[in-house]
Amino acid sequence: MYLSNFGVYHFSIALMKITVLISRLLLGALYLVFGLDYFLHFIPYQPPLHPGAAGVFKAGLVAAGYFYPMQKTIQVLGGLSLLINRYAPLSAVVLFPISLNVFLFHTLLAPEAWQMGAILLLPNLLLGWGYWKYYKSMFIQKAAA
């Protein structure tokens, strides 16, 4: 029985490592490619014109002038960091609000493309689970002075 539990334990550790690796590479590649495309325009597509609240929201972000360049710079740096596995837990935390916002935008305001939000949010959540040992110290209820 002990050997059986030992094998299951090692299998679950290996599975977690593979899950984190795939999530890290997928999220890193998506953010790097789409972040770079904002600056270099190498993906030939016409951005959709969103009707209603989605269009108003997006127009406001574009009109602000600084938002998309800042967001895409964070995406490029965070994606590169995940791909080369340097500061990956930090990058996953920094990219999480972007993933969550894309998910909420595409779920609530433009539901015809909800899959894109899910494709970004799921690996980000899996990285949060896989990197929990790095994050748990941030959840101390009362820090010492």
In a domain, 144, yes or no: no
Radius of gyration of the chain (CA): 18
Residue 102's domain comprises: 2-134
In a domain, 24, yes or no: yes
In a domain, 145, yes or no: no
In a domain, 139, yes or no: no
Amino acid at 71: Q
In a domain, 118, yes or no: yes
In a domain, 140, yes or no: no
In a domain, 141, yes or no: no
Amino acid at 65: G
Global pTM?
A: 0.88
Instruction: List pLDDT tens digits, range 94-115.
Output: 999 999 999 999 999 999 989 9
Instruction: List pLDDT tens digits, range 8-62.
Output: 777 888 899 999 999 999 999 999 999 999 999 999 988 778 889 999 999 999 9
Instruction: For residues 2 and 25, give the distance between their C-alpha atoms in angstroms, rounded to a whole number.
Output: 35
Six token digits for residue 54 = 């989605």
- State how many domains the chain has: 1
pLDDT for res 1: 46
pLDDT for res 2: 52
In a domain, 16, yes or no: yes
- pLDDT category at 3 given cuts 50, 70, 90 is low
